[in-house]
Structure 1
């Protein structure tokens, strides 16, 4: 199977969002998620607790692009390092880690990712959206970043673990920032 040139970013279907982030402490951001009944898994909580998760005291806007791994030229999928390298070549950049919680708060109409869909092992769940961020630890047991998911009507901000050999599915959704 070959991908036609016009199917690769920026000539592919994308979702663009402008998200305002910053201005809250980690504690305030965590409380805001709770106020909106957004659940976190243990990996998201681990990211929140880490000193490398820094929040900005100033409010600023970022423009994001959501696309599929295949839209970066990987019809068979690719590893996270391959995806990040290709995104950089296409002038996309990694998102600040704090974008994950703010994006979750702004993306409340995410499609359901559970009902009638199969459960997959070692793969992103249906309708999950990864936020491409700098990876802070090569430890396989330390979360690599956040992803957004809606399960049985409940919004989640989840952290995920993976190693450099894990292949993302070509249909996995991922968010980068635009320059």
Structure 2
């Protein structure tokens, strides 16, 4: 990624993906995650179980962009509202919540996250990718979205908790949809 030299999106290297999403029920998605031995934390399970988590009956294609908070021009980090606002100004959109499990099922070769240091509380884990999606509720105890992680060879689809004041680091990775 490219924020060291202060280049910002779209004038920096990013990871582009085209994904097919939809066509599975919630229970079919959960079954596929289990078939691929993908683990979830309690926040990921809460998101999937919530009635506001909707799946599309029909398959559709999404173009996504993976970039860092620094790639959006925040060399000192930024809050979730700042990140989402800047991404919108740059022509990026929020992802549907159902992209999380679909992307996890497609991105099976995610590199290992660095696990040599103890987890830093209240920060995105090393090697994780947060999926920028509409936040379902302002309730600070309810997960805000999904992130993907590989740790000790195990693939995870995890939910995260972060209030509107949480500052993400400049090297934290996010996925947005392209218009």
What residue is the counterpart of 1:98 in the other structure? Answer: 98
Return structure 1 stretches of 4+ with deviation > 4 angstroms. 2-5
RMSD between aligned residues: 1.3
What residue is the counterpart of 1:89 in the other structure? Answer: 89
Normalised by the length of structure 2, the TM-score is 0.96
1:71, 1:89 → 2: CA distance? 13
Normalised by the length of structure 1, the TM-score is 0.96
What residue is the counterpart of 1:111 in the other structure? Answer: 111
Deviation sequence 1:27-61 (CA, Å, 0-9, x none): 00000000000001100000001111000000011
8 A Cα contact 1:114 1:152, kept in partner: no
Alignment of 1:9-88 (within 5 A): 9-88=9-88
1:115, 1:86 → 2: CA distance? 30
Deviation sequence 1:56-91 (CA, Å, 0-9, x none): 000011000000000001000000000000000000
1:153, 1:43 → 2: CA distance? 21
**Structure 2 alignment gaps of length 5 or more:** none
What residue is the counterpart of 2:123 in the other structure? Answer: 123
1:121, 1:20 → 2: CA distance? 33
Q: Note the C-alpha offset of 1:4.
A: 5.5
Alignment of 1:159-174 (within 5 A): 159-174=159-174
**Structure 1 alignment gaps of length 5 or more:** none
Report the count of equivalent residues: 177
